[in-house]
Structure 1
């Protein structure tokens, strides 16, 4: 549903065995998906779909993913800490459980981003751990006009990837290769700038849009990760600690406006806080699936306790 004049929040469409008219099993979901005439159109219209109550078993996840993600992609050039657990299937994040992860569109800093994301709950947390999702049009509209206009010229992302030891991710894990030539070929094709550093690390710079239009609907949406790349969004204490040990240009990741001018701290804090405040939580039960249009919908993670394990895969 769309936001209405009373301020009702959009939420993902929930599909259960009762809604689908099928049995509560992996086979039931596979049969239902096979009967959907145009899954792409359904996802575009609803923006996100929750499949709940089918009790999907991890061993049969591939059957479902083959239908929902026709061309699974590797997480190459991803900046989130993840572990690969299958054929282009990853842990959703390994960020500490006690922290929230702010809203974002997956790999919006890259030259190519996945069109769809699929999350699968293998183990539900004891408490918390919801995946909040936000309608990108609402996220854009809830920001102050001054902030929206400031970002229309785009942003410049900088990554400092170490060569095997250091703060943040290595270039080897980021690009899933030990071959420098393969990395350079990938970056050349992406329009990014790069520099090999004397310590064996790699600095990557990319200029990207901050606001985009969906290729099918034409909706204008907030689409960048400036708040996640900006030290101010880490909190005053963490930002101060980082500033004390290294200059901004040496941080694992940083961001500026596309012309190189600094982004004010208060802008990224507003983006972070209003994104989370306007999100709708998807609470997890083991066996649940969440499919999202990665341009129309941003996602994050609430803090949690217990052994939460949510896997993610993506496709173009």
Structure 2
């Protein structure tokens, strides 16, 4: 982890924990203690312009951010409309226009590293996190450089995934996953169908009225600005092997593989080897950087360059999220 000195910004102190000399994230703090972020916004923007594509993530600490309203104003100050969480894969609550709670999974559950909405053909290029309330223990947001993950994976595995792509299969509702109404933010089937057609998602309405979708997506991608290759998918989250063994066996016995809430295959529909997914999870773990949140922190990531997750925690925790700048849809 490194820090920067520039104008109204100053060097940040070392964060607790052994980060192994990691540069990610770049830490920004105000030169004068207690300074409001608005008085530093031009230097913050300049730091983002200079460093975000190089490092991938910036952590702003000590700038007096005070909740989701203030956070929304800050995120909008970069000149992009904030995105709605459409085609959702996890439960969240919308707080303001474009500001959401982080994924509402139980505190005992780890959220593995992932790039936001990399299970789609269009995703946000920028994502912000704001720590409103720090957990009693745990609750960190681990991050990892997706370029490093790509480099560390076996070259043969990378080529196989890149050449074959991925096919994500989702079965909505039935008490097992998000209902399609929540995932697509609508009660109107026609809206869902139009969204699917526009985003090259195959869909079918099942006899019980529930929805199944299939979408073929990338496994790796080139960053549109830097040209660097990144590991960019959620195969290790969607795959059946991500479930705890007992849950996996129960679901297979009750609904069968075809009706699982979510699963992923190679783009041609062939099964993905669990050994490959184990390797991917191992590399993600080796590449992750973990630091403790402080109240008021804001972290800004280039969503293609840096993956994020969530540690287990105890006590109350509140981290809110905003996203912006949709990428050009892949061909």
Residues 234/9 of structure 1: CA separation in 2 closer, same or farther (3 Å cut): farther
- 1:122 and 1:134 map into 2 onto residues whose CA distance is 22
SS in 1 for 2:194: helix
- Find the partner of 1:70 among 80, 96, 99: 80
Q: 2:243 aligns with which of 234, 242, 257?
A: 234
Contact 1:233 1:268 (C-alpha < 8 Å) held by counterparts: no
- 8 A Cα contact 2:92 2:103, kept in partner: yes
| Equivalent residue for 1:16, pick from 13, 29, 38 | 29
1:33 to 2:44 alignment: no
1:42–1:31 distance in 2 versus 1, CA, 3 Å: farther
How far did 1:41 drift? 4.5
Does the residue aligned with 2:290 lie in a helix, a strand or coil?
strand
Cα pair distance change 1:41/1:282, threshold 3 Å: same
Aligned partners of 2:129 and 2:299 also within 8 Å: yes
Return the alpha-carbon distance in structure 2 between the equivalents of residues 85 and 272 of structure 1: 32
1:35-74 matches, within 5 Å, as: 35=43, 36-37=45-46, 39-58=48-67, 59-68=69-78, 70-74=80-84
Query: 1:233, 1:269 within 8 Å by CA — same for their partners in 2?
Result: no
**For each residue in 1:50-91, what CA deviation from the matched residue of structure 2 results, as whole angstroms up to 9, or x when unmatched?**
001123111422221222462100000020111111112111
Q: CA deviation at 1:233?
A: 1.9
C-alpha displacement at 1:277, in angstroms? 2.7
Pairing 1:49-128 to 2, within 5 Å after superposition: 49-58=58-67, 59-68=69-78, 70-128=80-138
- Against the structure 1 CA distance between its residues 244 and 9, is the aligned structure 2 distance closer, same or farther, given a 3 Å change threshold? farther
Q: Partners of 1:55 and 1:124 in 2: how far apart?
A: 15
Q: CA offset at residue 118 of structure 1?
A: 0.4
Matches within 5 A, 1:219-230: 219-230=228-239
1:282 is displaced (CA, Å) by 3.2
Structure 1, residues 270-299: CA drift from partner, whole Å, max 9, x if none?
A: 212321231001321111101000001111
What's the CA shift for 1:102?
Answer: 0.8
**In terms of mean alpha carbon deviation, does 49-58 or 143-152 score higher?**
143-152
Matching residue of 2:17: none
5+ residue gaps, structure 1, are none
- Measure, in 2, the Cα distance between the counterparts of 1:193 and 1:42: 39
TM-aligned CA distance change 1:249 to 1:41, over 3 Å = farther
State which of 205, 209, 221 in structure 1 corresponds to 2:214: 205
2:315 aligned to which of 289, 299, 306 = 306
Q: Is the 8 A contact 1:213 1:219 kept in 2?
A: yes
**Pair 1:267–1:123, CA change in 2 (3 A):** same
Tell me the distance in 2 between the aligned counterparts of 1:276 and 1:103: 8
Which has the larger displacement, 235-244 or 134-143? 235-244
Give the secondary-structure state (helix, strand or coil) at the position aligned to 1:282.
coil
Pairwise CA distance, 1:38 = 7.1
Question: Which residue in the other structure is 1:155 paired with?
Answer: 166
Distance 1:130 1:198, change over 3 A: same
Structure 2 residue runs without a partner (length 5+): 3-19, 326-331
